Chain A
Amino acid sequence: MKIAVTLRLTPDLTEELELTEDGRDIDREWIGLVLNEFDDQALEQAVLLKEAAGAEVTALAIDGEGVERLLRTALARGADAVRRIPADDAPSSARALTPLYAAAVREIGADLVLAGVLATDDLHGELAPFLAAELGWRQASAVSDVRIEDGDVVVRQEYSGGRAAQLALTLPAVVGLQTASQPPRYVAGSKLRDLLKVEVPEMAVDAAPAATGIEPATLALPDRGAGAEMIEGSADQIAERLHAILVERDMA
């Protein structure tokens, strides 16, 4: 069985975001990029499936700054192969990039694609359902836990209120992963250093980005409205005020 896992770099949201002058994008010059946290889960799930059922895992990413390092990390985490897909002026929308991912998935002959359920900077729909639509495959999103049973992929799909269902999907299929069945593994820095010289092959695909039908959005900081009453001061002063608030409400 061949598994493809798609990896994307997204801005580190623990940092402060600044906007470009025209408001069409965030200022990317200084912002740190991290592996999209759901793609991180997808990568872990792919490697867990390989360890449990035997599979060949290929990690795919649209080429760009930091992608070689990202894919080397995927190798260190247990991927068997990595491919960066060149794209000029690549749009960030998953919908736009779907034809490129689909061509790569077909070329490596994957039976199962694992993608992170969402990327926090995408407004035009998520990768897994678009990719499945493009490929004509089955799809389930918001999944935690993936197993292979009797040639089907069995997933736990999560709904609101903590409900869930086990679904069996006939392969080939795409899964939009939320949580792997185990937390992503830690990779030692020495292992990464060993891979520094490993070449990350490029895989050119014969496909062009799709139209989303929507012009790029204008970004702005949210209008906070009244917002929270902010408590200023030292840790002691903050604790004192919090204590007073709780006492006032009969909760201390």
Chain B
Amino acid sequence: MGRLRILIVDDEEDLAFTMAERLILRGFRCEAMTNGIDALKALSEEHFDVLVLDVKMPGIDGLQMMTEIRQTHPDLPVILITGHGSAADAERGMRAGAFDYIMKPIDIERVIQMIHASTGAKKDEKP
């Protein structure tokens, strides 16, 4: 398996780009975007192995994106990020087909575990 390509979508720009930088330092190929429209366009034009997606965003939110992605990319693993105290939204996302979800503040090692689990890659293999 080549290096995994990850797309991070979060309207909190600092969070999205810093997460991307940390994943790149760990050997992943990573893109960060701050809105659902740009992300859907990128998904239609390029290949990504995993999508890391914020649930609450302006415009198209994470759950609306999930609905679209399940039509166009049924096999793309989606890991949801939620800032909510309650996991209700993330659980709705899980029912819509997300692989897993993580609460903010982010534990980057947990995200990496989820990426590996969602793609079937082993942790000791190269990303």
- Chain B binds chain A: no
